[in-house]
Structure 1
């Protein structure tokens, strides 16, 4: 991290070194020009560069090559001046039937369990489609009293299950008092939530939840982008449900 004045200074140094590197590649005519004006720091560097890397034999030895010292300094400064957003972090999401937790591993920071907007480490697996702005977790449960028919909750344990061949008794797995929304099945047999004009599969609703978990993790590390995500499910989940876990992940965003 640099203060603005320090960053401007080092950016100027990096720009000067890039100019010097460019001149070293252009050939002896520009390198030998007496009209070239450089700052004192770069002038000393250029003087050492000119003696260490003579260009008199450039024509006979083929195309000129940049001085290794200048290249090294330019690359080093470029790495130092890279914005912090170029770094990335790893997020792990433990997706349970009723709650999920997220943890981040970022450069220079210890392993950290992410807190949600209510300063809690675990967030209910609930998504509310009642209003135009979707709400998640505790906020979704709070809005369920006003729009229970559009608030899927505690649904991850239905990922990857083919309900097309299920018996009628197996389909009645949600109490009508708690889950009053209309349920349907897709062509693949997966669960679908029907909200009148809109309908979402259980994979799509899970993707919304994973995207919310990703945003919580990004806020915890000051906006650094996510590169890798590790998604875990309950250990007692059958193989079919384990295969149904990964598909929602790409929909949740990078």
Structure 2
């Protein structure tokens, strides 16, 4: 049995960020506890701790090197090691840092940009259900005509033409400027057996900028053929997905 683990660089980075933060928080907490054992200079301890949190790959090795070079027993070291509250401040610090980190990453994961990024990755990997789910989640946070258009395309590719048409129309009402929207709306209308409206939308697409360029969009020829035919029929199955029952 062959198993192929496929993951995009974007998804991998999304997983590594909280893991990297957790590691930095742990190193920073250890730094706070250890630096307090060897120094009474509270500003220096605070600086080492915060620098380790933000730049662990640089500061932590430097601290270890300095600690090894300058290592010598001291009364401060032995007294701190016997202290009952030696780990009290580091533990409180760790709890605060992890709480702030959890709040930030939860907010970031459920943001509009995060949903759109995951929708794009799902689309590229052919996961239409996840694409639709993430786009709908983004729309619950922020209404956006471009996102409506993307959702309509995903629904059309999945064969949900009635829902796709609703999204295309919502994108049009929202002021989506992309000329491509007229073509997608026309395709949905044609598939749903509304030829008169479909021809009007195909004509609107032909009048747009995409079909007036030196190298027009390939769909312009399709739209022109539909308009010239004057009578539209439901396209063949290999041209468009049929509406799912």
Q: Name the TM tier (shorter chain).
A: under 0.3
Larger relative strand fraction: 1
* Normalised TM-score (structure 2): 0.21
Larger relative helix fraction: 2
